[in-house]
């Protein structure tokens, strides 16, 4: 029993001595200058649903326009560290008419910076699905960063007349993926 106690004390002492003599190096905090973070952010951009009656009730029955302020690039951190944007659009049409949707990005003077045209075929009784992707990097990204507003222009194409008993809807969902590089 006495022998076990001596062995344990000796091993404990040896362990303490080895930990005191272990190798270590100085920390180099200058390595933080080489640190590069590359986060990827994904978020919903916009959603709308336009019922067929929204076109019938407008009088003209052909054109809907919605303009909204959209100023994410006022933030210098985002502007300086953004490297790429991917936009993804999903459109569903159950209205028996074709549509053109233009997403127009406007600058501070309400002048178009960039336009994304989307053509949506007419429904034949089933849901028509359209997917569109657009990518921004380099010079294209720099021009889009001037955006202050976004306008959606939905235009119904000529076709079979619609009335108050017509049914269906046009739905748009979109998302944005932002690729950043933070040094």
CATH number of 36-180: 2.60.120
Select from 141, 89, 91 the least CA-distant residue to 114. Answer: 141
pLDDT tens digits, 60-97: 557 889 999 988 888 899 999 999 999 999 999 999 99
pLDDT class for 164, splitting at 50, 70, 90? confident
Select from 115, 124, 123 the least CA-distant residue to 99. Answer: 123
Supply the pTM of this predicted model.
Answer: 0.76
Q: How far is CA 44 from the centre of its chain?
A: 6
pLDDT class for 35, splitting at 50, 70, 90? confident
pLDDT at 2 over 70: no
Better-scored residue on pLDDT, 82 or 53: 82
Domain-by-domain residue ranges, the chain? Answer: 36-180
- Looking up tokens 């003599």 gives 21
């Amino acid at each position: 029993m006495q022998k076990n106690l001596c062995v344990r004390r000796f091993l404990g002492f040896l362990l303490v001595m080895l930990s005191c003599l272990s190798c270590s190096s100085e920390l180099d905090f200058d390595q933080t200058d080489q640190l590069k973070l590359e986060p990827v952010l994904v978020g919903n951009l916009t959603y709308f649903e336009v019922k067929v009656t929204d076109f019938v009730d407008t009088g003209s029955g052909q054109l809907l326009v919605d303009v909204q302020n959209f100023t994410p690039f006022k933030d210098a951190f985002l502007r300086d560290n953004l490297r790429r944007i991917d936009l993804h659009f999903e459109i569903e049409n159950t209205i028996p008419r074709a549509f053109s949707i233009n997403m127009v990005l406007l600058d501070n003077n309400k002048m178009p910076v960039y336009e994304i045209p989307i053509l949506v075929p007419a429904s034949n009784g089933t849901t028509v699905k359209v997917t569109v992707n657009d990518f921004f990097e380099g010079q294209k990204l720099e021009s889009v960063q001037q955006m202050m507003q976004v306008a959606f222009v939905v235009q119904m194409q000529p076709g079979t007349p619609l009335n108050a008993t017509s049914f269906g809807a046009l739905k748009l969902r979109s998302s944005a993926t932002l690729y950043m590089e933070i040094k």
